[in-house]
Amino acid sequence: MGNEGERPENLGRRRFLTATTAVVGAVGAGFVAVPFIKSWNPSERAKLAGAPVVQDISALAEGQQLVLKWRGQPVYVARRSKAMLDLLPTMDSLLADPASDNTGQQPEYARNEWRSIKPEILVLVAVCTHLGCAPEFIPELKPQPFDANWKGGYFCPCHKSRYDLAGRVYSSQPAPANLPVPPYHFADDNTLVIGVDPSAGGAA
């Protein structure tokens, strides 16, 4: 029909160009599709942020602590007794930042004498602010080998930094700052949610 009078070499060239155009079009569509498909997957930033951690703390007794994991880091959750809370105001003279003036170490709603939403429940990122070790929870109010006047709190055995029962660092320690308080809130009286502050999801 329309190609009957064409020379064989012209017909071959036309077929080659037609096939090449189709291949290039398909490859181009593939490059367009890849970023679109990748956008369906969680971003690396979202993966790093991590999902909130929900924990029932109804069985947590006074003087006890549980360890959770959030964003790849350990988080301490401790229940303090009235005696422990009454001791906190007496510690100020021993501490480097008793009033939590380093605002980067806790949300504003935890910048109080307990460094917590509920006075009895302490929530801390369990990473020493010196070199990232995990401090030990030593709640007993009695002399210790590292402190004859120990009033309870956290002790980092790696480089001997000490923190009180609100995670506030003692003066003249290797650690330069208080233990961080992560964002958190209480979904109800016994349900702790770590990773979401009160304004973003739930009653405090």
Confidence label for 172 from pLDDT (cuts 50, 70 and 90): very high
Q: What gap in Å lies between CA 166 and CA 59, rounded to an integer?
A: 21
- Which positions ≥6 away from 50 have C-beta within 8 Å? 70, 71, 72, 195
Task: Flag the least confident range among 9-18, 158-167, 176-185.
Answer: 9-18
pLDDT reading at 56 higher than 70: yes
Residues 79, 120 contacting (CB under 8 angstroms) = yes
Residue 93: what pLDDT?
96
pLDDT reading at 5 higher than 90: no
Confidence label for 36 from pLDDT (cuts 50, 70 and 90): very low
Residues 154, 125 contacting (CB under 8 angstroms) = no
**Is the pTM of the predicted complex or chain greater than 0.85?**
no
Q: Which two tokens stand for residue 95?
A: 């501490």
Residue 133: what pLDDT?
86
